[in-house]
A and B are shown apart, each in its own frame.
Chain A
């Protein structure tokens, strides 16, 4: 018989705080190539192990190993490296722009570039992402113009969403990028609905839901899984586990669950857990899930394991809650350096070409930035008209809004 005791509140906490030596020895990392690749039509109950390991392709030497390797050709890999480098450069420029007061706020992707950049390569036109604020790689890899992105960040007169949204809350139907909501997790369930609509219409399209580790605690996440489990529409349920939800470590949202990916098992859905800093692994896992969706085999959950190397946003100071050296100690490395090393290993790339590409990208981003800033930044230049404030509340402006617009003088 266990002892009769008063209950105590269990509050998970990270073992390492500022001042401590970073330690990720608790993160069990299998060798590259070690995790099996089941056939995409495998029943969820026959692949539960995939939710507790980490699918990896690139080893420390930059070699691609195992059954998940080989989903991308040379051109695609070179494009992938360029996409990630572009995203990182773009982020760096806009982080600085925020410090210069050119935009109110910014959120960077540092360390997480592979996830959105590689995922987008697995989709087709017509598919729809329901992203969070840290998946701009979906746009960059999809060829969306950098100038339009910057116009959005600056809320200038070229902003496609007319100055109505916080910086980085992009929207592009054409590029399969659903308008971002700042209320976390709400779009997870909308992605399921979008895929249900595709299934009702019999259209060969799929949707991808995106969420962070912290927001999986929202009921929208659980509601989404119930509906995905019930109707089995073509949706990919992505979780980006970057270890930190602002200052809260992932153990607060995960609770007693082994992994976030394992949440899928209770809903009878298959789940993969993937090295999010391995461009090849991210693409291979995404393609596996896409194949399932395109064969009417239903939803797949993917947990991308990564590390948020920067702050949550320009309003955050991570040194207050985690050691500064923690990012450097993250055992899955830097996604750009890992793909670079792979391409060099393959004879497709060199340090020299990398430096050259860096310079080209820097010039490209600066040119785009100049073009955007010529239109305006948050507090200078041309901004959307106050008239725009009243548009698009409804398709047709009702009388009370017309009257209020007149009161503003428009």
Chain B
């Protein structure tokens, strides 16, 4: 076991994957010599050579499009999009090409590709460095979508994503790169070193895709979330004093519905929390499934706490971010009913 930040864990997953499989390559803007603007690929070019870790032109469609061709050839590209907000020029290549290649060729051509992108806010990055576009991926048949919330999961999930035979969208909550964040903007930053999930196994291990984690067991209500909001949820639950079960989904598609249903059928109360905008957000999918599978166990309506339906603001980030106050309020609401 080694203590790691999420950045170090992601970098270590690259190293381990590239050591054991010479078809794994890393590419993206500033990814090569410099090692990425968040340093997730630092040292890879020196260690594995320029042909296995290289800089690309600033063209997300070119990055994803060439990576699709490489994956179809038989390589395993890990392509970095510098910020999830920049992925839109490559979206056609993700949706119409990477996601559908296996299907439309009846398995003759496949696309084992990982597209990593920093996601979410909390860093005062305004509307072009803060978006959470996960629902734009979970809505697409043929894509898997993963969002880790800590260093250990980040490494294990990334290794599982690289081993997966299909395209995986790997969303990295950038506010968590250097430490957990509970949504209290007024408190000092906390490093990963004090968090138990910064203890990461050395070498190869996988956190299987499609398995949620119950981070706090409880009987009063179920709080379902992922990414940065996992830490907000845990803080809000602690502050509320209620015995709330907290589920970290880790993989949004395929979804671990069994864990969700078992929990909500037990507690009878449910809140879904995400940073992405509310309307047509991923939470709506969870709510629909929960009401289908747990309808007779529900004591209260299922609530959603999410980002407001506005572009991600700059000066008003704290007002936008669904922080612990809003989550506590939601807990109080479901407990009152």
Contacts and interface: CB of A to CB of B under 8 A. Distances in A.
Interface of A: 128, 130, 160-162, 164-165, 169, 171-173, 178-179, 181, 183, 186-187, 189-201, 207, 219-220, 223-224, 226-227, 230, 391-395, 398-400
Interface of B: 25, 51-52, 56-57, 59, 61-62, 65-70, 72-75, 89, 92-93, 96-97, 100-110, 141-142, 144, 165-166, 210, 253-255, 257
A199 to B, nearest CB: 8
Given A219-B61, A394-B142, A200 B97 contact: no
Contacts of A161: 104-106, 108
A201 B51 CA distance: 9
Given A395-B110, A400-B255, A165 B102 contact: no
Contacts of A193: 65-70, 72-73
6 contacts: A169-B104, A173-B109, A181-B100, A200-B25, A392-B103, A394-B165
Contacts of B110: 395
Contact of A198 (B66, B73, B89, B165): B73
Nearest to B22: A201
B297 to A, nearest CB: 20
Contacts of A200: 25, 51-52, 70, 75
Contact of B104 (A171, A172, A198): A171
Contact of B105 (A179, A192, A196): A179
B254 A190 contact: no
Contacts of B210: 398
A202 B97 CA distance: 25
Contacts of B59: 223, 226-227
Contacts of A169: 104
Nearest to A219: B61
A186 B70 contact: no
A394 B109 contact: no
Contacts of B70: 193-194, 196-197, 200
Contacts of B25: 200
B254 A400 contact: yes
Nearest to A398: B254
B106 A230 contact: no
Given A169-B104, A200-B25, A393-B141, A190 B57 contact: no
For the complex of A and B, the 9 pairs showing the least CB-CB separation, nearest first, are A193-B69, A193-B66, A189-B65, A197-B73, A190-B69, A398-B254, A223-B62, A179-B105, A194-B69
B69 A392 contact: no
Contacts of A223: 57, 59, 61-62, 65
Nearest to B166: A394
Contacts of A192: 65-66, 69
Contacts of A186: 65, 92-93, 96-97
A238 to B, nearest CB: 15
B105 A171 contact: yes
A243 B52 CA distance: 41
Q: Which of A164, A169, A195, A223 has the most CB of B within 10 A?
A: A223
Contacts of A160: 106, 108
A393 B142 contact: yes
B67 to A, nearest CB: 6
A190 B97 contact: yes
Given A200-B52, A200-B75, A219-B61, A189 B93 contact: yes
Nearest to A200: B51
Given A179-B105, A189-B69, A399-B257, A230 B52 contact: no
Contacts of A194: 69-70, 72-73
Nearest to B90: A223
Contact of B108 (A171, A189, A201, A400): A171
A393 B210 CA distance: 16
Contacts of A219: 61, 89
A213 B101 CA distance: 25
Given A178-B72, A198-B73, A220 B65 contact: yes
B109 A393 contact: no
A197 B69 contact: yes
A227 to B, nearest CB: 5
A224 B56 CA distance: 12
Q: Which of A161, A187, A193 has the most CB of B within 10 A?
A: A193
Contact of B102 (A197, A230, A393, A400): A393
B102 A224 contact: no
Contacts of B96: 181, 183, 186
Contact of B57 (A165, A173, A191, A226): A226
A392 B97 contact: no
Nearest to A205: B73
A174 B210 CA distance: 34
